[in-house]
Amino acid sequence: MRFLTSGESHGPKLTAIIEGFPSNMPVDKGRMEAELIKRQGGYGRGRRMKIEKDTFTFGAGIRHGKTLGSPIMIELSNDDFKSWTTIMGSDPLSPEEEEKMKRVITKPRPGHADLVGGIKYNARDLRNVLERSSARETAARVAVGALCKELLHALGIEMSSRVVQIGEVKDEGEYTYDEISEGSDRSSVRMISEEQTAKTEKLIDAAKKNGDSIGGIVEVIVKNPPVGLGSYVHYDRKLDSKIAGSVISINAFKGVEFGMGFKLAETPGSEVQDEILYSSEAGYTRKTNNLGGFEGGMSTGMPIVVRAVMKPIPTLYKPLMSVDINTKEPFKATVERSDSCAVPAASIVCEHMVAIEMAKAILEKFPHDSFEELQDAVEVHKEKVKDF
């Protein structure tokens, strides 16, 4: 399975084309759109999320609620485009329009893609960089991930995510998949503990008031993964590394860990390795899940637990110093409308990037011309694993 997205933040639309799904897979469009709405939520988002309604249309690949096996096309519109038709239009500008166009960006924001992107693509209006580097594109990725979650769901594999930390406020609890997914329709910060949620909202309010921004940590759990996705035989077939790469590809994500993660450094081996158990009903399981569901780059069958850190948003309403690329003089960076904290939204993006890698790994391992063929192969595999 492979996919491409296209679309600028304030352009007319976002598009994704997904190739490699089996035929006859049921798709619940309402459930997919609910995921997109979750990505728009969370405390700390800016005004843009009040403008956009992230519904989508299938332009190809689906008939009567099922996949055809052909490439699937998903299209989301940017409702904000109507305010940007001149600035973001695809036709050349008339001299009068060019004259009116005063919003050329020349003061790159530290921490965003503006300066390096401008140098690399020779873009002297940094808007040409900002538009595609914006996390608006993550809406298209969540749409693709939601389709992948449809495939996982139909195979009995479920996923959820939560916010673990915002600023210095942490929810230290260890939660099961069911506890996390129970809270997953909350439109707020989506920490498990209500007390911590309230604290983070105060923190976000304070950051916003100070023209500052704030980052955090998110967690994704995958329940019921098949045993043996990915492989130890070659570095580029390890599923944990593919998930890590995909998670780090999310705008502003700077670190990723599995299971105990960085705490592994301070824990002796006897308290780390997950002891192996067997029962005829459950097959092979583990006493603990400190390694977050991976050994040798392969899924062990235990829940996959991924945590990742998002840096604070780069656009600051009290901007940091930068340099005007035309005059080379020091200047305060450009201020664009911005979120002050997007960690809750990012938890949804992270969940969907993990879903994409899970679906890819499943489609790599099992035959899948039709969904029935895939389903049978996964069932046979499960029985074989139990008997091993």
Ligand X SMILES: Cc1cc2nc3c(=O)[nH]c(=O)nc-3n(C[C@H](O)[C@H](O)[C@H](O)COP(=O)(O)O)c2cc1C
Ligand Y SMILES: C=C(O[C@@H]1CC(C(=O)O)=C[C@@H](OP(=O)(O)O)[C@H]1O)C(=O)O
Least separation in angstroms between residue 5's CB and ligand Y is 13
Angstrom distances, CA of residue 21 to CA of 65, 66, 73, 237: 14, 11, 12, 20
Site membership for ligand X, residue 300 (CB under 6 A)? no
63 among annotated binding-site residues: no
- Smallest CA-to-CA distance from 361 within 224, 219, 240 is with 240
Least separation in angstroms between residue 47's CB and ligand Y is 7
Q: Hey, which residues between 74 and 103 contact ligand X (CB under 6 A)?
A: none
Least separation in angstroms between residue 152's CB and ligand Y is 23
- Of 252, 304, 305, 333, the one binding ligand X (CB under 6 A) is 252
Q: Which one of ligand X, ligand Y, none interacts with residue 9, CB within 5 to 8 A by kind?
A: ligand Y
- Cα–Cα distance for residue pair 134/228, rounded to 1 Å: 36
Core vs surface per residue 48-58: b (16+ CB within 10 A) or e: bbeebebebeb
Site membership for ligand X, residue 305 (CB under 6 A)? no
Least separation in angstroms between residue 254's CB and ligand Y is 15
If the CB atoms of residues 138 and 375 are measured against ligand X, the closer one turns out to be: 138
3-state SS, residue 115:
helix
Q: How many CA atoms lie within 13 A of 321 on its CB side?
A: 3
- Cα–Cα distance for residue pair 307/350, rounded to 1 Å: 9
304-310, strands of its sheet edge to edge: 169-170, 158-166, 216-223, 304-310, 253-258
If the CB atoms of residues 45 and 149 are measured against ligand Y, the closer one turns out to be: 45
Site membership for ligand X, residue 339 (CB under 6 A)? yes
- Of 247, 306, 349, 378, the one binding ligand X (CB under 6 A) is 349
Q: What is the DSSP letter of 303?
A: P
What the block records as the tokens of 258 is 């599995």
- Smallest CA-to-CA distance from 355 within 8, 31, 69, 9 is with 31
- Of 5, 134, 160, 246, the one binding ligand X (CB under 6 A) is 134
- Cα–Cα distance for residue pair 162/237, rounded to 1 Å: 28
Least separation in angstroms between residue 136's CB and ligand Y is 4
Q: Which one of ligand X, ligand Y, none interacts with residue 250, CB within 5 to 8 A by kind?
A: ligand X
Site membership for ligand X, residue 333 (CB under 6 A)? no
Residue numbers in the known binding site for FMN are: 132-134, 251-252, 296, 311-315, 337
- Positions in the binding site for ligand X (CB under 6 A): 46, 112-113, 133-135, 138, 250-252, 311, 313-315, 338-339, 342, 345-346, 349
Residue numbers in the known binding site are: 39, 45, 132-134, 251-252, 296, 311-315, 337
